[in-house]
Amino acid sequence: MQPRSDLNGEVEAMMALAEELYPICRSITGNGVRQTLAILQRHLPLEVNEVPSGTEVLDWVVPREWNIRDAYIARQDGTRIVDFGASNLHVVQYSQPIDMIMPLARLRPHLHSLPDTPDWIPYRTSYYAENWGFCLTHRQLSSLADESYRVVIDADLRPGHLTDGELVIPGESKETVLFSCHICHPSLANDNLSGIAVATMLARYIGSLRPRYTYRFLFIPGTIGSLTWLARNEDKVDSITHGLVLSCLGDAGCMTYKQSRRGNAAIDQIVAHVLRHDDAAAHRIRPFIPYGYDERQYCSPGFDLPVGCLMRTPNGEYPEYHSSADDLSLLRPESLSHSLAVLQRIVAVIEGNEVYRSRNPKGEPQLGRRGLYATMGGQRTASYDQMALLWVLNLADGRHSLLDTAERAGVPFAAIRAAADALLATNLLEQASVQPHVLSKGP
């Protein structure tokens, strides 16, 4: 993968955004989420929603709001051994408030470390079970003497709100493309400041188009955020024709696409096509599994939305995942840039993937007199562009989308789209009424 030039300053903007968001202590509710959305609002006209704790959302209830001011483990002499001020990963998310002195033996079950990477702090949560705890490096844990410690978590767990951000970019059609990313992780960079940064720049890019589809961007707390959005927007669910969850888009790994539950939705075909024709050597296509990010909710059987997940290295598959080592140094400018470019190409296919019918379906139309054909015959092979013209004409039967045509021709979508534009300009094609995402897959 070549580093790309940053003509529009997008890479710089994505890196700056990640750096600005990194220190904030986000969780699934609370002020960290609000601060994060406020920063995003400087880039995008986000609508921010607040849903009260206790609201029933599908099988769940919006939890109490958690805000933390300070937390530490200190020796009897007051020396802080583990200090929330040094890393907001040091506290298990949604820990109950506590202020006690206790011997190590009693404290020990509340301490979490990573023995194999003794300098990293793990990231742990306990959203739905009342608990408290600290995360620390294994080196810290090993050095704890068998004495009594003061354990303080100065946090509130009180009725409040769940906060999320939403941006709708209206298109000609109400049919909607969903992009969703989670904003509930504290100081973790690849998971998911990378997703937030790329989604932000993608939304700015689409906002500069006059799109055919409507685009909906969700910046939401994981799991409870998508459940809440789904519960409150059931009337909008049917209009979602394509969707992607965005996460882990800044590391050095190659692109990974996790298919929708359907496995053969239009978005599955589109992303696979774009990745196959990407300059970057490698990519991975994975079947759906019911574990991961919010695609779990979008692809639950009662919704079964055509939503996949685009990542570089997937959750759980890079060593730094869910630890303090998933910091800003893991983000590569060229990876963020490449992820954004891939998403722009995906959008280009979604926007340009139409179904046409030839106006001269019987025999080939005479391209020569329309200036679309080499005039000197007999040469060994048709040129590339001529082949694209011939493919579009041959499959313009109202049953093949341009993407079907590109796949069968084995060329990038853009070449087929350009050929279709040339044929439209000479009045050789007409729009078919069928929508490409409802065609059965492939030729």
Interface positions with a second copy (CB under 8 A):
57-60, 92-93, 122-129, 131, 223, 226-227, 230-231, 234, 261, 263, 287, 289-291, 296-297, 299-304, 316, 321-322, 358, 360-366, 368-369, 375-382, 386-387, 390-391, 393-397, 408-409, 443
- Phi, psi torsion values for 356, nearest 5 degrees: -120, 165
Task: Report d(CA 423, CA 436) in Å as an integer.
Answer: 19
Least Å from the CB of residue 9 to a second copy? 34
Please say which residue, 144 or 231, places its beta carbon nearer to a second copy: 231
Closest to a second copy by CB, 40 vs 325, is 325
Q: How far apart are CA 293 and CA 263, in angstroms?
A: 17
Backbone angles phi and psi of 24, in degrees to 5:
-70, 135
What minimum distance in Å lies between the beta carbon of 121 and a second copy? 11
* Least distance (Å) between residue 426 CB and a second copy: 11
Cis bond upstream, residue 353 (ω within 30): no
**From the CB of 264, what's the least distance to a second copy, in Å?**
11
Closer CB to a second copy, 26 or 338, in the complex: 26
Q: How many CA atoms lie within 13 A of 295 on its CB side?
A: 27
Nearer to a second copy, 123 or 213 (CB): 123
- Sign of the torsion angle spanned by Cα atoms 422, 426, 428, 429: positive
The minimum distance between CB 25 and a second copy, in angstroms, equals 15
List CB contacts of 438: < 8 A, sequence separation 6 or more: none
Q: Output 23 or 263, the one with its CB closest to a second copy.
A: 263
Task: Specify the residue, 228 or 335, whose C-beta has the smaller distance to a second copy.
Answer: 228
Q: How far is CA 159 from CA 55, 70, 228, in A?
A: 11, 20, 16
Give the residue with the Cβ less far from a second copy, 78 or 301.
Answer: 301
Sign (positive or negative) of CA dihedral 132, 138, 139, 144: positive
Q: How far is the CB of 204 from a second copy (least distance, A)?
A: 30
CB of 247 to a second copy, least distance (A): 15
What is the SS3 assignment for 17? Answer: helix
Residue closer to a second copy by CB (options 55, 300) is: 300
Burial class (CB within 10 angstroms; exposed 0-12, middle 13-18, buried 19+) of 197: buried
109 DSSP assignment: G
Distance CA 180, CA 46 (A): 13
Closest contact distance (angstroms) between CB of 299 and a second copy is 7
Nearest CA to 286 out of 316, 311, 251 is that of 311
